[in-house]
């Protein structure tokens, strides 16, 4: 092709757009609902045209993506999302991924449960693999859930904080769908193990896993500025996961207060760490490490904040300006062809992203954020 | 994205385009063949990028869509259509859908038969599932085809008029392909049952099913204006199905006159019901119920009319103005990205559509219409 | 749609573009790396959205295409290519196509081997079908490899020159990956059979198969101008295959000199046959038969020339002008939507192409060419 590339706005153009459109919109406090919906559809269309996985189409990357697609359908009722959900589920034969001991491998079932609870056609979704996974994951001891092996990094079932997005919201939705709240008790036990091991009660943030928890030793992992390593996406998994759980936990659930408080405490801390351009850096306490916005963590935070306003758990006057600023900036990370850029690749700690870097779970975070932002505009 | 939505022409723009391009084209009686072909390809590309199904990729929605793709290939010989047909068939393992008693579930085989009869590579298409389905559907009694159960809405095999698109054209093509015309006799028996039960000999239209046939009772279903409920897409299924059948029925077929007359009688009545903007409303006798054009019914009518002119069964001077007007209006229902909008969703009676509403079978109707219109331009 | 077609530049526009952009670029001897990368991504995106096969997704057409995708990933490290490779392999269950005696049916394994050797995640690629195929293809006698059947067109294993792209580079890469160089000996035996039968030592070109080898009989196949029939894509398969092989053959491999000389001799002859517009005609010695550039053959030549410069086997001063001219012309064959046009369809001898004609293996050739051209620009 001899025409100039149509795929990307360059940084300069983004700055111009930001001034002329996004900037004004934010200055005026206005976001356009139809524009957000169109951006979301464009993100879906681009992602569906660019299938990707780490291990298989049923893996956690698609789990997070299709959770975003499900949330987008819930918010808009646009059948384009439902068509994508059904097509993916059908092609997956409604299977989870393989490792029954691994929270990642049940994340895809959030979308299956959503389809089963939403689609009028009965019997289309086969929930048997989901049921089998959840029952074995929670109730059949393995080398991770067996406390006899205490001590190492992987000595609990959900030993990395991402797991708190991958499994608990699915278990919560499954309990709601089946009406069997005993699943919540089993879940809470494992959640508390992660909380006790990884939650930093001073910072109100989660270490990604035990390697990043300070022990007072000289060997503790540190940022160049001497601070603790708190990964943006890692905390995004937790905070977004909490919002998803809180939506579906019974109002009289015994430990609901615990999850509400954790969600509010984390949100308050995350709010302080937002950069002035509206996006969070990959290293929360060392923004200078990679000093640019990153979309997956920022998308999950934006979702969680907007959800909290929409559901009365966060103060609108405090969080709304942050949400507007964040969405405006997230939208500027989307290419004209729909690609959601500035997504940190698969990893376990802060790494840089770029305008072109993308991943399905980044698109999922974008869709989750947009889904709550448009509901916010209805208020 | 901060740019304005690129996905849709709004109504105002459609009106403007209609005046400046479509309107002129129609006023001058001109349609541009290359433009129609490009619109058809864009429709295919959009639909392939947005897979959708009701129950499975082999269901009737895809059956109708891929019938349109097959017709588009037949009319243009553009390998893009054949690539899509082969890919879909391969991914379906050349299976029908499941319910052997249900006409819907054999519709997909029209495309399989077309590929087998057209593609030079031998042995690629597996017609065994098609053969099995047709043989059991026609010859093994079930609770629908068993006359002992007379009386209710579903007391005949093809108890809803959509069925007359789903099965008879496939059976006709199968008889042609195998050279075994005994299938036509079995088909005719079931066709006549539907005709006797659902065809309104005064209106020359089909009731969708027995619920919409007037019995003289106060409980008869009526439109708000007191008229009978004749569904546009429902009659589109029948009329387009008749054109498909007539193409493949032997010239000396015993009941050919019956089908030709039915086709001509219905066409004459449908012609009267076309709205001045070129499109039909979802409720044929109550256009004011939802007073906008609808693409699936209109597309099937346009196909059937153009096919009739092309094949000498309808008078060109009578039907050509209608076809040109209809195609011009259909083309204006397509979004710039290829999406065919204004399609009523899955249903059984008149319901509204919208600029954004789409379905694969609507795209199929659009492709069927375009396929005959471009052949008309060759005359 | 009432807007003008956005799919194609017409010839006039191509000429204009050529003058203003491509023409200038070539006149100045400049190629823009970012533009080439964007064109390659657009080609991938278009092709992924238009899946096509002759017999199955594992057939040689996809084998050649995904070889191009693998080369593009190797050259750019753009994860978009790896996502496509993994998705295709996963959907194929890492299978070859069926005919164990047929070189075509192992071509897809080049991409499987590439993923296995490149992707960090272990155990994702199942190489068992590849291993089984290569072992049986090389070591289990069949009616082609059995010399008892000498005499006809198909009396050797690799009886058509395309086969020298389909199997030998895969076997070479497999030998490298497994470290078992005994495969190279078996390969060489079959390669020499093809060379002896099909290579024209005067013209330094391959006949497509024995039907095109001159015997001195009046019945020899001739072009209208009385010359031998040498097919552009056929020789493209051989020359590109040689470049792929030479990359992976051990530096001390016994027959390496033979392959280097064959590669250099053919390249020198092909260089002479390039048309002044930068592209080769489908009939190498009868360019007037179909006097327009064709992309699959030209793409393979461009790849092979640029690879030779990059790897010190071809003289930069001699081949660089040809490569630049060729790439500039190849890029002008790409439509604005990414489609690579001017590709001769599946065949066995020179036939015409058109602006719209495309095939996945043509896209593969385009990607292979671009992959080496961008590396050339790094030098």
Of the listed B39, B59, B104, B162, which one is catalytic? B162
Q: Which of C77, C85, C20 is nearest to C364 (CA)?
A: C85
Option in C2, C3, C52 nearest B83 (CB): C52
pLDDT of residue B17: 35
**Do the chains contact at C53 and B338, CB–CB below 8 Å?**
no
Return d(Cα B349, Cα B363) in angstroms, integer: 19
Chain B contact partners (≥3 CB pairs within 8 A):
A, C
pLDDT given at position C148: 64
- The DSSP line for B218-269 is TTS---TTS----BHHHHHHHHHHHHHHHHHS-TT-TTHHHHHHHHHHHHHH
pLDDT of residue A145: 82
Interaxial angle between packed helices B60-76 and B109-118, expressed in degrees from 0 to 180 and rounded to the nearest 10: 30
Give the residue from chain C lying closest to A54, CA to CA.
C121
Structure tokens at A45: 């269309």
DSSP state for residue A105 in the 8-state scheme = G
Question: For residue C108, what pLDDT is reported?
Answer: 98
Give the mean pLDDT of chain B.
Answer: 92
State residue A84's pLDDT score.
Answer: 98
B100 touches A at CB < 8 Å: no
Residue from C33, C42, C120 whose CB has the most chain A CBs within 10 Å, to mutate: C42
Give the whole-angstrom CA distance, residue B22 versus residue B31: 9
Taking 50 as the threshold, does the pLDDT of residue B6 lie above it? no
pLDDT digits (tens, 9 = 90+) for A101-132: 999 999 999 999 999 999 988 889 999 999 99
**What pLDDT, on a 0 to 100 scale, did the predictor assign at position A122?**
85
Residue C111's contacts (CB-CB under 8 Å, 6 or more residues apart) are C63, C66, C67, C69, C70, C85, C88, C89
Domain boundaries, chain A: 33-378
Distance CA C192, CA C259 (A): 10
Q: What pairs with residue A193 in β-bridges?
A: none
Residue A26 has pLDDT above 70, yes or no: no
Radius of gyration of chain B (CA): 20
What is the distance between the alpha carbons of residues A110 and A66, in angstroms, rounded to a whole number? 8
Q: List subunits contacting chain C, requiring 3 or more Cβ pairs under 8 Å.
A: A, B
Please say whether the beta carbons of C276 and C342 come within 8 A.
Answer: no
Q: What is the dihedral of CA C37, C42, C45, C46, to 10 degrees?
A: -150
Mutate to test the interface with A, among C13, C79, C89, C334 (most CBs of A within 10 A): C79
Buried b (16+ CB within 10 A) or exposed e, B280-298: bbbbbbbbebbebbbbbbb
Going by pLDDT thresholds of 50, 70 and 90, the confidence category of residue B29 is: low
- With beta carbons under 8 A apart, name residues in chain A contacting C332: 2
Q: What is the pLDDT of residue A156?
A: 94
Residue A148 has pLDDT above 80, yes or no: no
Per residue in A50-95, pLDDT (tens digit) is 999 999 999 999 999 999 999 999 999 999 999 999 999 999 999 9
Contact B50 A331 (CB under 8 A): no
- In chain A, which residues have their Cβ closer than 8 Å to the Cβ of B49? 45, 48-49
The predicted pLDDT at position C214 comes to 96
Task: State which residue of chain B sits closest to C339, comparing Cα positions.
Answer: B80
Give the mutation candidate from C44, C80, C341, C363 for the A interface (greatest A CB count, under 10 A). Answer: C80
Judged by a CB distance cut-off of 8 A, whether residue A320 touches chain B is no
CA distance C5 to chain B (A): 6
Residue C7 to residue B42, Cβ atoms within 8 A:
yes
Work out the mean pLDDT of chain A and round it to a whole number: 92
Could A17 and B7 be called an inter-chain contact, meaning their C-beta atoms sit closer than 8 Å?
Answer: no
Does C7 contact A at CB distance below 8 Å? no
Cβ neighbours of C5 in B, within 8 Å: 34-35, 38
Report the SS3 class of residue A260.
helix
Rg (CA), chain A: 20
- d(Cα A71, Cα A368) in Å, to the nearest integer? 6
User: What are the chain C neighbours of B35 within 8 Å (beta carbons)?
Assistant: 1, 4-5
Q: Is the pLDDT of residue A25 over 70?
A: no
The CA distance from C72 to A363, in Å, is 24
CB nearest B332 (choices: C2, C4, C49): C2
C162 noted as active-site residue:
yes
Residue with tokens 């302080």: A272
Name the one residue in this structure whose structure tokens are 């991504």.
C41
Q: Which helix (H) or strand (E) holds B178?
A: helix B168-178
**Structure confidence at residue B120 as a pLDDT band (50, 70, 90):** confident
Q: Which residues of A264-288 are buried (b: 16+ CB within 10 A; e: fewer)?
A: bebbebbeebbbeebbbbbbbbbbe
**Rounded (to 5) percent helix, strand, coil in chain A:** 55, 5, 40
| Nearest neighbour of C51 by CB, restricted to B21, B79, B87 | B87
Which residues does B278 contact at the CB level (< 8 Å), separation at least 6? B26, B293, B298, B322, B325, B326, B327, B328, B329, B330
Of A2-6, A237-241, A248-252, B366-370, the one with minimum mean pLDDT is A2-6
Mean pLDDT of the region B135-143: 94
CA gap A225, A223 in Å, rounded? 5
Q: CB within 8 A of C351, min separation 6: which ones? A: C282, C290, C344, C345
Q: Which two tokens stand for residue B327?
A: 């195609």
Q: Which residues, at least 6 apart from B238, have a Cβ–Cβ distance to it below 8 Å?
A: B161, B164, B165, B206, B266
Contact pairs from chain A to chain C, CB under 8 Å: 48
CATH fold, domain B20-378, is: Glycosyltransferase (1.50.10)
The torsion defined by the Cα of B99, B105, B111 and B115, in degrees rounded to 10, comes to 0
Q: Which of B168, B325, B326, B301 is nearest to B234 (CA)?
A: B301
B347 touches chain A (CB under 8 A): no
**Residue in C257, C367, C280 with CA at minimum distance from that of residue C36:** C367
CA dihedral C160, C164, C166, C169 (to 10 degrees): 170
Residue B101 CB neighbour total at 10 angstroms: 14
What are the backbone dihedrals phi and psi of residue C260, each rounded to the nearest 5 degrees, phi first? -65, -45
Among residues A364, A257, A378, A262, which one has the least CA distance to residue A309? A378
Distance from CA of A91 to the nearest CA of B (A): 10
- Residue A184 · residue A196 · CB < 8 Å: no
C216 burial (CB, 10 Å; 0-12 / 13-18 / 19+) is exposed
Active site residues of A: 162
From chain C, pick out residues whose CB is under 8 angstroms from the CB of A56. Answer: 90
pLDDT, residue C29, reads 57
Q: What is the pLDDT of residue C144?
A: 85
For the beta carbon of residue B30, count every other beta carbon within 10 angstroms.
11
- Beta-bridged to residue A209, according to DSSP, are A160
Q: How confident is the model at residue A146 (pLDDT cuts 50, 70, 90)?
A: confident
3-state secondary structure chain C: CCCCCCCCCCHHHHHHHHHHHHHHHHHCCCCCHHHHHHHHHHHHHHHHCCCCCCCCCCCHHHHHHHHHHHHHHHHHCCHHHHHHHHHHHHHCCCCCCCCCCCHHHHCCHHHHHHHHHHCCCCCCCCCHHHHHHHHHHHHCCCCCCCHHHCCCCCCCCCCECCHHHHCHHHHHHHHHHHCCCHHHHHHHHHHHHHHHHHEECCCCEECCEHHHCCCCCCCCCCCCCCCCCCEHHHHHHHHHHHHHHHHHCCCCCCCHHHHHHHHHHHHHHHHHCCCCCCCCCCECCCHHHHCCCCHHHHHHHHHHHHHHHHCCCCCHHHHHHHHHHHHHHHHHCECCCCCECCCCCCCCCCCCCCCCCCCHHHHHHHHHHHHHHHHHHHC
Chain B environment of C52 (Cβ under 8 Å): 79, 83, 86-87
In this structure, the number of other CB atoms found within 10 A of the CB of residue A124 comes to 17
Q: Which residue of C has its CA nearest to B82?
A: C52
**Average pLDDT estimate for B35-62:** 98
Average pLDDT over residues B201-211: 97
Which residues of chain A does B53 touch, with a Cβ-Cβ cutoff of 8 Å?
A: 83, 86-87, 90
Give the CA distances from residue B61 to residues A80, B106, B296, B352, in Å, rounded to whole numbers and listed in that order: 15, 11, 12, 19
Give the separation between CA A295 and CA A330, rounded to whole angstroms: 7
Radius of gyration of chain C (CA): 20
Its pTM stands at 0.93
pLDDT beneath 50, residues of chain C: 1-28
Token pair listed for B64: 């109708």
Q: What are the structure tokens assigned to A309, written together?
A: 């306003």
| Least CB–CB distance from C50: residue in B39, B80, B90 | B80
Q: Are strands C199-200 and A199-200 parallel, antiparallel or unpaired?
A: unpaired
Residues A54, C18: C-beta atoms closer than 8 Å: no
Q: Say yes or no to pLDDT of A224 above 70.
A: yes
Residues in chain B closer than 8 A to C348 (CB atoms):
none
Q: Which residue of chain B is at minimal alpha-carbon distance from C53?
A: B83
When mean pLDDT is compared over A141-155, B138-152, C318-332, the highest value belongs to: C318-332
pLDDT average, residue stretch B300-317? 98
Residue B22 touches partner C, C-beta closer than 8 Å: yes
Query: Which residue in B1, B4, B52 is closest to A331 by CB distance?
Result: B1
Phi, psi of A334 (to 5 degrees): -90, 135
Which residue of B42, B338, B342, B367 to mutate against C (max C Cβ within 10 Å)? Answer: B42
Do A320 and A334 form a contact (C-beta atoms < 8 A)?
no
Nearest to B49 among C7, C49, C57 (CB): C49
The residue of chain B with its CA nearest to that of A24 is B2
- Touching A: B residues 39-58, CB under 8 Å: 49-57
Nearest CA-CA distance, residue A236 and chain B, Å? 22
Mean pLDDT of B337-342: 98
Check CB contact of A185 with chain B, cutoff 8 Å: no
Please check the confidence at residue B137 and state whether its pLDDT lies above 60.
yes
Average the pLDDT over B134-146 and give the result. Answer: 91
pLDDT at C122: 85
pLDDT above 90 covers a percentage of chain A that reads 87
Query: What distance in Å separates the CA atoms of residue B360 and residue B61, rounded to the nearest whole number?
Result: 6
Residues A157, A163: Cα–Cα separation, whole Å: 9
User: What does the angle CA A105 – CA A303 – CA A333 come to, to the nearest 5 degrees?
Assistant: 95
pLDDT digits (tens, 9 = 90+) for A258-286: 999 999 999 999 999 999 999 999 999 99
Give domain A33-378's CATH number out of 3.90.1150.10, 1.10.3720.10, 1.10.760.10, 1.50.10.10: 1.50.10.10
Q: Of A14, A30, A35, A36, which to mutate for an interface test with B (greatest number of B Cβ within 10 Å)?
A: A35
- Cβ contact A110:A170 at 8 Å: yes
What does the pLDDT average to over B102-126? Answer: 96
Q: Which of C59, C116, C162, C209 is catalytic?
A: C162
């Amino acid at each position: 092709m001899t025409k100039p590339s149509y795929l990307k706005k360059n940084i300069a153009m983004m700055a111009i757009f930001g001034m002329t459109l996004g900037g004004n919109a934010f200055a005026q406090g206005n976001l356009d609902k139809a524009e957000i919906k169109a951006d979301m559809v464009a993100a879906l269309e681009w992602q569906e045209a660019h299938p990707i996985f780490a291990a298989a189409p049923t893996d956690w990357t698609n789990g997070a993506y299709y959770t975003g697609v499900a949330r987008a359908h819930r918010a808009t009722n646009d059948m384009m999302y439902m068509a994508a959900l059904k097509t993916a589920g059908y092609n997956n034969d409604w299977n989870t991924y393989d490792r029954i001991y691994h929270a990642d491998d049940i994340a895809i079932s959030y979308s299956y449960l959503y389809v089963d609870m939403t689609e009028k056609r009965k019997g289309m979704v086969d929930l048997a693999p989901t049921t089998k996974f959840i029952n074995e994951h929670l109730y059949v001891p393995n080398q991770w859930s067996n406390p006899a092996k205490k001590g190492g990094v992987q000595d609990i079932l959900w030993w990395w904080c991402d797991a708190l997005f991958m499994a608990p919201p699915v278990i919560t939705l499954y309990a709601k769908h089946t009406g069997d709240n005993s699943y919540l008790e089993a879940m809470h036990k494992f959640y508390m193990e992660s909380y006790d091991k990884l939650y930093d009660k001073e910072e109100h943030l989660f270490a990604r896993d035990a390697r990043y928890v300070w022990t007072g030793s000289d060997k503790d992992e540190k940022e160049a500025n001497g601070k603790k390593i708190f990964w943006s996406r890692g905390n995004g998994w937790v905070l977004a996961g909490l919002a998803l759980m809180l939506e579906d936990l019974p109002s009289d659930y015994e430990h609901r207060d615990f999850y509400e408080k954790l969600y509010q405490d984390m949100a308050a801390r995350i709010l302080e760490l937002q950069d002035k351009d509206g996006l969070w850096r990959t290293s929360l306490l060392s923004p200078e490490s990679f000093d640019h916005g990153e979309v997956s963590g920022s998308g999950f935070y934006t979702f969680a904040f907007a959800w909290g306003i929409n559901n009365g758990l966060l103060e609108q006057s405090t969080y709304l300006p942050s949400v507007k600023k964040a969405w405006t900036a997230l939208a500027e990370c989307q290419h004209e062809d729909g690609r959601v850029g500035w997504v940190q690749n698969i990893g376990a700690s802060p790494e840089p992203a770029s305008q072109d870097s993308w991943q399905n779970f980044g698109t999922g975070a974008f869709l989750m954020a947009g889904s709550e932002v448009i509901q916010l505009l209805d208020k």
